[in-house]
Amino acid sequence: DEAVGAYRKAIYLSVINDNTFSDGIAAVAYQNMGAVLLLQGRRDEGIAALEKALRLKPDLPGAHVSLGQAAFQKQEYETAVERFRLAIELAQRAGEGGLPEFQVIPWFPWFLLGSAQAQLGQFEAALESFRRVVSLKPDFKDAHRLFGLTALKLGYPALAFEHLDAVRELGGDDAKLYVSLGSARGNLGDLEGAAGEFRKALDLDPASEEARLNLCRAYRGLSRWDELLDEGRVLLEAGTETPEIYRLLGEACAALEAWPQAVAMFESLLAVSSTPTREDLLNLAICRLGAGEALEALEMARRVADLDPSAREPWLVVARCHRALGQMEAALVALERASVGSASQLAGTIS
């Protein structure tokens, strides 16, 4: 409030003091007052002050930056992008020779521009904006973080890791950072390194569902089934019931040939999923067969085969079910449907 009062006084003095800098002084005062009003949450008053600043001095970069921030707050991201671009253009046009009060911090509008572009889904453009920020201010942690997250979104894991690791080098130490580092390592094929990053995230935030789920995914890729089961059970006990966690736990149980438990996991998956995949249904059939439930397995496998009669894998499972039931002729027919070969060539396949 004191700052707003001081800027109002400066505006008043600039009006009554007739000199060549009056409009410029008043414009800067309106600009700064508008920025303070925005910080106070008095957005409409702030916008009005900033618009007055631009009527007095249309090429004032800072006023455009603040109006862009106001548009960002209102989720008017396209307007925000236009304002930030104009601020950058005006600042570059003014160069180094302008008065300090008419300049803006060079990296700041680029950072805001990248943030608005990311909100619009313009990730390639956002990446270039964040690249400009870190070139101008290499020690800006938030810019490195957003650069890394944007690169990860675009499928550039090496670039993502470089900038997320820069956040760590600059003192960043939070669970979300380690989750992002783990995701970058995982996308680079370093699953052991990814698991290590996810464990660090859990050290900082044991309740992080995102970190624990990602750790389960890494353990799946590493075939560390017992550890996957341990972490997955923690998620279930915490109330996390999603198709993916049941799918991961079902795959782990199947890999360990714990068939009844695998059946329970895939049945739970179907109970919580409105759109189970063909693979989910087929996995349940395989697990039922492993658990000695050949008739139930056959029914499920036939259901999957009917969804896509040209698919080979369901018919192979159907053949296995018939074999388990002692129905060798039906097994041969199913193998023919799987296009493995002629019936005369298939006796050895199912024997």
| 123-181 residue pLDDT tens | 999 999 999 999 999 999 999 999 999 999 999 999 999 999 999 999 999 999 999 99
Q: Please, which pLDDT band fits residue 22 given cuts at 50, 70 and 90?
A: low
- CA–CA distance, 183 with 186 (Å, rounded to integer): 5
Statement: residue 304 has pLDDT above 90: yes
Q: Of residues 270 and 308, which shows the higher confidence score?
A: 270
Task: Report, as an integer, the average pLDDT of 235-262.
Answer: 97
Task: Determine the pLDDT at residue 95.
Answer: 62
**What angle is formed at CA 49 by the lines to CA 45 and CA 50, rounded to 5 degrees?**
115
Q: Alpha carbon of 170 to those of 126, 167, 185, 230, 289: distances in Å?
A: 22, 5, 19, 34, 54
Residue 286: burial class (beta carbons within 10 Å; 0-12, 13-18, 19+): buried
**What angle is formed at CA 208 by the lines to CA 206 and CA 211, rounded to 5 degrees?**
105
Enclosing H/E stretch for 329? helix 328-337
Instruction: State both tokens at 24.
Output: 């410029």
Lowest mean pLDDT among 126-130, 246-250, 309-313: 309-313
Taken as a whole, the chain contains a residue count of 351
Q: Please, which pLDDT band fits residue 93 given cuts at 50, 70 and 90?
A: confident
Residue 273: burial class (beta carbons within 10 Å; 0-12, 13-18, 19+): middle
Task: Report, as an integer, the average pLDDT of 282-298.
Answer: 97
Q: What is the pLDDT of residues 334-351, one digit of tens each?
A: 999 887 544 443 444 443
Task: Report, as an integer, the average pLDDT of 95-120.
Answer: 80
Looking at every residue in the chain, the average pLDDT score rounds to 89
Statement: residue 281 has pLDDT above 60: yes
- CA–CA distance, 259 with 338 (Å, rounded to integer): 25
Instruction: State both tokens at 307.
Output: 């969804």
Q: Are the CB atoms for 235 and 245 separated by under 8 Å? A: yes
- CA–CA distance, 108 with 124 (Å, rounded to integer): 19
Task: Determine the pLDDT at residue 20.
Answer: 45
Statement: residue 215 has pLDDT above 70: yes
Q: What is the pLDDT of residues 187-204, one digit of tens each?
A: 999 999 999 999 999 999
- CA–CA distance, 229 with 251 (Å, rounded to integer): 10
Q: Please, which pLDDT band fits residue 48 given cuts at 50, 70 and 90?
A: very high
Residue reference for tokens 């003091």? 17
Q: Of residues 103 and 215, which shows the higher confidence score?
A: 215
Q: Please, which pLDDT band fits residue 103 given cuts at 50, 70 and 90?
A: low
DSSP assignments along 123-177, one per residue:
HHHHHHHHHHHHHH-TT-HHHHHHHHHHHHHHT-HHHHHHHHHHHHHTT---HHH
The total of other beta-carbon atoms located within 10 Å of residue 281's CB is 19
Backbone angles phi, psi at 40, to 5 degrees: -80, -5
Task: Report, as an integer, the average pLDDT of 67-80.
Answer: 97
Task: Determine the pLDDT at residue 340.
Answer: 52
Statement: residue 119 has pLDDT above 80: yes
The total of other beta-carbon atoms located within 10 Å of residue 76's CB is 15
Residues 6+ apart with CB under 8 A from 68: 79, 80, 81, 82, 83, 84, 87, 109, 112, 116
Number of H helices, E strands in the chain: 20, 0
Residue burial 227-242, b: 16+ Cβ < 10 Å; e: rest? ebbebbebbeeeeeee
% of residues, the chain, pLDDT over 90 = 77
Task: Determine the pLDDT at residue 113.
Answer: 98
Residues 6+ apart with CB under 8 A from 241: 268, 272
% of residues, the chain, pLDDT over 70 = 88
Report pTM.
0.84
Residues 6+ apart with CB under 8 A from 159: 147, 148, 151
| Intra-chain end-to-end CA distance of the chain, in Å | 87
Task: Determine the pLDDT at residue 339.
Answer: 73
What is the dihedral sign for C-alpha 36, 40, 45, 46?
Answer: positive
Task: Determine the pLDDT at residue 27.
Answer: 85
